[in-house]
Amino acid sequence: MTREKYAKLTDEEKRVKVAELRGLTCDCTDPNPELQLNGVVYWCPIHGDHKPCYLSNLNYTAEAEKALDRPILRFRYKRNLQTVLDVWEAPDDIRDFALITATAEQRAEAFVLTMEPA
């Protein structure tokens, strides 16, 4: 996915994209009424009551980052995060500070760009 395509997604689409790329699947089509609350499958990890908010919660974003389980993915993620933060030409100490203080939304974008390359 390109940055331009990512920017066109709604916040909900971005959230679902991160969830899917980290391996969560939607089971909202399960017709079992015992698993539903007011007609909504409440246990679905993507659409249920406790859906993860990757764009505003660093804890959820950190959980998604655990899917970066290979060195090449972690390398690409760092490069993508530097692109999102626009710190390529910054001195090393400024770049490092920017990387560790990146927001959940910035990290989510870098995660999507890493897991679904253009």
pLDDT band at residue 6, thresholds of 50, 70 and 90? very high
Which phi and psi angles does 4 have, rounded to 5°? -65, -45
Counted domains in the chain:
1
How high does pLDDT run on average in the chain? 85
What is the residue range of 35's domain? 3-115
What pLDDT score does 53 carry?
85
**Measured distance CA(3)–CA(111) in Å, rounded:** 11
Q: What is the mean pLDDT of residues 54-81?
A: 94
Q: What is the mean pLDDT of residues 52-58?
A: 88
The CA distances from residue 76 to 42, 73, 90, in Å, are: 35, 5, 18
pLDDT band at residue 24, thresholds of 50, 70 and 90? confident
Q: What is the dihedral of CA 12, 63, 22, 46, to 10 degrees?
A: -40
**Measured distance CA(97)–CA(29) in Å, rounded:** 44
Q: Is the pLDDT of residue 47 over 70?
A: no
Task: Name the nearest CA neighbour of 25 among 6, 48, 44, 51.
Answer: 44
What pLDDT score does 39 carry?
52
Q: Is the pLDDT of residue 40 over 60?
A: no
Supply the DSSP symbol for 37.
Answer: E
pLDDT in tens, 83-118: 999 998 999 999 999 999 999 999 999 999 999 987
Q: What is the pTM of this model?
A: 0.82
